[in-house]
Amino acid sequence: MERVCVITGGAAGIGRCIVETFAEKGYKVYFIDKSTIEIRWLEDKMQARGYSVMGFEGDIAEEETLKDFADFVLSMEEQIDCLINNACLTNGGILGDCSYDEFLYVQRVGVVAPYFLSLLFKNYFTGAGSIVNISSTRAFQSQANTESYTAAKGGITALTHALAVSLSGITRVNSIAPGWIDTGSYHSESYLPDYSDADVLQHPSRRVGDPDDIARVALFLCDERNSFVNGENITVDGGMSKLMIYHNDAGWTLQP
């Protein structure tokens, strides 16, 4: 029986890479996004190559959309194996006067939707099921004026270990915290990266991240052979968040 994977924010960026990677590994993939054009393009591309990929249009900040998406999947599947909560966005933060509604919208997409989809699919996971939440290194460190996004990523990181405990025996729950992942090629087919030496050297791994780096970890977490990994957050940032830099250190100078 084909394994079934459900993905949010799957039409572009890291989400699209995950859709393509899981389909190529033999999963039946269902994904949701807001862009009709990108959904249809990805469906046509993958189905033309013989893969089972089906998209659904909707805004996951809305409860009815989440219910409709779950019904869409469950109208064709009796059970699912993986739920990957990838979708999020930013509305800036306190220095840009991010409003109450703007801040709340990001939390609805980045925290509430993953919780509610986990609830909707709770009774349909196989015994070796897996939920993977896409967090961010911004859950642990920040730039100025990022409060809406940072709060959502902090929330989904904490939600991960809470769900892992509550869903014991039902499904495993883990998160991935990407660092700098260049998603340009998953937004435009003609994209060409252009990095400075500093962009590369600030990573101990000596390169900027690629969406494939995240998709491979998601595959690992969804592999039932790795069932002893549960409630964990895996940081995938080329070591950047471990590199301690001071003024006049490593060629870096603070200019206040």
Band (205; pLDDT cuts 50, 70, 90): very high
Q: Single out the catalytic residue among 149, 191, 195, 246.
A: 149
Three-class secondary structure of residue 181 per DSSP: strand
Tokens, residue 123: 């009774």
Cβ 171 vs Cβ 131: under 8 Å: yes
The answer to which of 30-44, 73-87, 238-252 has the lowest mean pLDDT is: 238-252
pLDDT for position 247: 85
Mean pLDDT of all residues belonging to the chain = 95
Q: Amino acid letter at 7?
A: I
pLDDT for position 201: 87
pLDDT for position 220: 98
DSSP H or E segment with residue 43 = helix 36-48
The answer to which of 33-42, 194-203, 213-222 has the lowest mean pLDDT is: 194-203
Q: What is the pLDDT of residues 152-201, one digit of tens each?
A: 999 999 999 999 999 999 999 999 999 999 999 999 888 888 899 888 98
pTM (predicted TM-score):
0.95
Q: Region 31-60: what's the mean pLDDT?
A: 98
Integer-rounded Cα Rg, in Å, for the chain is 18
Band (207; pLDDT cuts 50, 70, 90): very high
Annotation marks residue 30 as catalytic: no
* Alpha-carbon gap, residue 101 to 95, rounded angstroms: 16
Residue 78: C-alpha distances to residues 67, 128, 221 (Å): 16, 15, 22
Instruction: Provide CB contacts within 8 A for 111, sequence distance 6+.
Output: 152, 155, 156, 159
Residue 249 has pLDDT above 90, yes or no: no
Domains of the chain: 4-242 (3.40.50.720)
Q: What is the pLDDT of residues 105-160, one digit of tens each?
A: 999 999 999 999 999 999 999 888 999 999 999 999 999 999 999 999 999 999 99
* Alpha-carbon gap, residue 80 to 61, rounded angstroms: 22
